[in-house]
Amino acid sequence: MDRSSKPRLALFGYGILGGGTLHDGIPVLKDLFKRLSNDFEIVYYCFVRIHASNVPANIRVRQVPDLPLPGRLKFFLLSAVCAFDHIRNPFSLVFAVSIYPTGQWAVRVGRIFRIPTVVQIIALEAVALTDIGYGNLVDPWLRKITQRVCEQADVLIAVAEYQKNIAITSLPTSRSIVVLPLRINCDNFPYNDRKITYPVRFIHIAYYSPIKDQDTMFRAFSAVAWEIDCHLTVIGEGYDDIKVKRLLEDLKIMDRVTFTGTIEQSQMPKYLANAHILLHTARFETGCAVIQEAMSSGVAVAGTRVGILDDIGDGYAISVPVGDDEQLSERILALINDELLYDRIRKKAYQWISKYDAVWAYENYRDFLTGVVSRRDHLD
């Protein structure tokens, strides 16, 4: 398609491309929008300073000013730039990843210029985990913004059925919510066949946080470690917290756990290739890319029944209720002791993610967004 004939898409994001500790942004979104840039002319309005060189080449980048200004003023100025760009060359669609500040400003621009606005919730935007203080709906001011954005957006997208069902009961909103999952590029995580050998090699990939509930993971691993020879490799930041050291000392597993810190995304396949089982015991999840990466690599997954593990159901992984370390350790030991079950779960998961991969996700988004633009053009 000739570039001049592409519909124009204003993408509002907060470091989703080119941001983060390693300037990788969110890999599944980078893959998605790189593919969508073949169908849409995308201008990325980033609400935080990033490394623009890490954004796909076909996507134009506009950033908040690098000036000592209040955040809201920066957001206003960036939105004004988007408005000016629209006046010069109209957008067909505004797409915001997350609610605040991106969704809030996206719906304002959309309403002023009568541009269809799509808001994608990808994490904790419609959640209130009050006991650990996580989720937009915990804070009264952010709850009001979230409810307003959800009512004013033309389209709401969730990335998991689990997430959608929670949003429906937590918000509530009169808007229907479309589920369009995000998926990994399986080519980046090649499948490796494997069998259980000793020591059994466990892996966990996440930053340390109450929402990831690593305490449940460490307790489950400790129970397994009392029964078999095993080791756990933990990838991510935040584990220098004194609470982690005390817990591992209490559980007597200090010598069974290795912490790597944050690693480059390109190094992840190497670690997964050497693992038998991925542990992931979060309190809340959506698509969870690391679970998909493990499935693509041939690693068995054991975790809590949230997000993607709740969506796909039994047969593809070991999943237990949130916080249930006893059942998790029991089922992990049963998995390790059943060679046929271990092989069946891994292969079934690999077949599933190979079918519902990044290409499948891109085609869903392309068709859906093209439909939104077509309906708008028809009404005009």
Least confident of 168-177, 178-187, 275-284, 308-317: 168-177
Between CA 129 and CA 39 the distance in angstroms is 38
Query: What pLDDT is attached to residue 175?
Result: 77
Query: What pLDDT is attached to residue 3?
Result: 46
Query: What pLDDT is attached to residue 378?
Result: 58
Least confident of 117-131, 138-152, 366-380: 366-380
Question: For the residues 162-189, what does the mean pLDDT come to?
Answer: 92
Least confident of 104-113, 173-182, 215-224: 173-182
Q: Which of 161, 184, 199 is nearest to 350 (CA)?
A: 184
Q: Is the pLDDT of residue 121 over 90?
A: yes
Q: Is the pLDDT of residue 152 over 90?
A: yes
Place of tokens 């089922």: 331
Question: For the residues 75-90, what does the mean pLDDT come to?
Answer: 97
- Distances in Å between the Cα of 283 and the Cα atoms of 55, 131, 158, 362 are 31, 11, 18, 28
Q: What is the pLDDT of residues 280-315, one digit of tens each?
A: 999 999 999 999 999 999 999 999 999 999 999 889
Q: Is the pLDDT of residue 91 over 70?
A: yes
Query: What pLDDT is attached to residue 379?
Result: 55
Q: Is the pLDDT of residue 380 over 70?
A: no
C-beta neighbour count of 3 within 10 angstroms? 9
Task: Identify the H or E element spanning 341.
Answer: helix 339-355
Least confident of 82-91, 170-179, 347-356, 366-375: 170-179
Between CA 64 and CA 295 the distance in angstroms is 37
Contacts of 210 by beta carbon, 8 Å cutoff, 6+ apart: 132, 133, 134, 283
Tokens of 237: 């930041």
Contacts of 202 by beta carbon, 8 Å cutoff, 6+ apart: 221, 224, 230, 231, 232, 233, 275, 276, 277, 278, 279
Least confident of 1-10, 36-45, 218-227: 1-10
Least confident of 9-23, 83-97, 332-346: 9-23
Tokens of 263: 């690693």
The full set of domains in the chain, from first to last, is 3-183+358-379 (3.40.50.2000), 186-355 (3.40.50.2000)
Between CA 247 and CA 260 the distance in angstroms is 18
For helices 214-225 and 242-251, give the axis angle rounded to 10 degrees: 20
Query: What pLDDT is attached to residue 78?
Result: 97
Query: What pLDDT is attached to residue 375?
Result: 82
Give the confidence band of 2 by pLDDT, cuts at 50, 70, 90. very low
Q: What is the pLDDT of residues 207-254, one digit of tens each?
A: 999 999 999 999 999 999 999 999 999 999 999 999 999 999 999 999
What does the mean pLDDT of the chain come to?
95
Q: Is 205 helix (H, G, I), strand (E, B) or coil?
A: strand
